Structure 1
Amino acid sequence: MNYWIGVASKDHVALGVAGGFCQLCHGKSAPLNKMKAGDWLIYYAPKQSLKIKEPCQEFIALGQVLPGETYSFEMAPGFVPFRKNIDFLKKIQPVPLQAVAQFRLWQEYRSRLRFGHFQIPEELFDFIVSGMKRA
C-alpha cells in the first residue's frame, strides 16, 4: 500500500469527491497509473478556485483508490482528462497546511506540492489523517 498527495483547487476536488474520482496534473494519466487499488490519496488545495487566487491551503479530502484502470472522460469539447475511481471518506475535517508544517517529516516534502502529485511515507500520511479524522 502506498500513500499519495494530490494537489488541486478546492472547487475541483469537490467535483471529484462528489463523483467518486480523482484527476491529477491537469488530467494526465501518468500520475494516476502510479496509484494502485488500496493506495490512499490525500488532496491538498492551495486555492479555493483555479480561476481565483483566494488561498485555501488545506488538506481537504481523503480517499482510497478503487480497483480498476485509469480511464478518460470528456468533460468539455476538446478536454478529455484521465480519471481514477476513489472511495472518499465523507466525515473528515480540513487540516491547515500550518498544522502539518510543524511535523518534522513535512520539511522533506513541502517543496513537492508544486508537482501536483507525489508519494509520502506512512508516518506523514498518518499525521495528516489523524487531524482529518477528528471530525
Structure 2
Amino acid sequence: MKHTISLFDLPAPRQNWIAVASAEHARRGCAVPQQGFMQVCHGKCAPLKRVQPGDRVAYYAPTVTLGGKDRLQSFVSIGLVQPGVPYAFDMGGGFVPFRRDVVYVPAQEAAITPLLDSFEFVQDRTRWGYSFRFGLFKVSDADMRLIANAMQADAGLLYLA
C-alpha cells in the first residue's frame, strides 16, 4: 500500500505545476484510486525531480489522443504529489518511462478557454499556449485555485483553502 500525504507531512511552501499530456494518457494516471501517478515529457526523469512531495499538479490535455487532431484543451485531473522519488516503470514494448506517485482528488474536466483571461501565467492572450510546450511548468497558488475551482475539486483536499 502506498503512503499518502497527511496535513503534517506537507512541506512548506508547496509549489503548483501544470503537466501536459493527451487526455488518454492523463486519465490513465488517475484511473485507479490511491494508485495515481504522473509522467511528463515522454517519460523523462529530470522534470520529475523538480516536483516535490506535497506539490499540487493539474494535468492539461490539448488533445484526447497523443498526436491526435481531436482537440480537447481541458484540464483533466488534479492532485497532490506523494513522498518518494521518480522511479522507472516498464510499460512493455521497451518503453520504460519515469513516474511519480500522485493522489488525485475527485474533479470534473474543465475547458481552459474560459480561464485564460484570469491566469497570471498568461502574459499574452494571443500566445497563451507557449508555456505548455515545456510539458511541465510552475504556476501560482491563485492560478491553481482557479483551475481547482473550474474543475469543482475540493480546495481543502488540495490544501488550497
Name 1:96's counterpart in structure 2.
Answer: 111
The list of structure 1 runs, each at least 4 consecutive aligned residues, that deviate by more than 2 angstroms after superposition, is none
Deviation at 1:110, TM superposition (A): 4.1
Gaps of 5+ in 1: none
> Highest Rg: 1 or 2?
2
What is the alpha-carbon root mean square deviation over aligned residues? 1.6
CA separation of 1:88/1:134 partners in 2, compared to 1, >3 Å: closer, same or farther?
Answer: closer
Query: Residues of 1 paired with 2:153 and 2:57: CA distance?
Result: 18
Which residue identity is paired with 2:90? E
**Structure 1 range deviating more: 66-75 or 104-113:** 104-113
Post-superposition Cα deviations, 1:86-112, rounded to whole Å, max 9, x if no partner, equal 00012x112211111121514236421
Query: Residues of 2 paired with 1:51 and 1:28: CA distance?
Result: 18
Alignment coverage as a number of residue pairs: 134
Gaps of 5+ in 2: 1-13, 155-161
More helix by share: 1
Name 2:57's counterpart in structure 1.
Answer: 41
Is residue 9 of structure 1 aligned with residue 22 of structure 2?
Answer: yes
**Structure 1 range deviating more: 101-110 or 32-41:** 101-110
Query: Residues of 2 paired with 1:134 and 1:81: CA distance?
Result: 28
Question: What is the TM-score with the length of structure 1 in the denominator?
Answer: 0.92
Question: What is the TM-score with the length of structure 2 in the denominator?
Answer: 0.78
Name 1:72's counterpart in structure 2.
Answer: 88
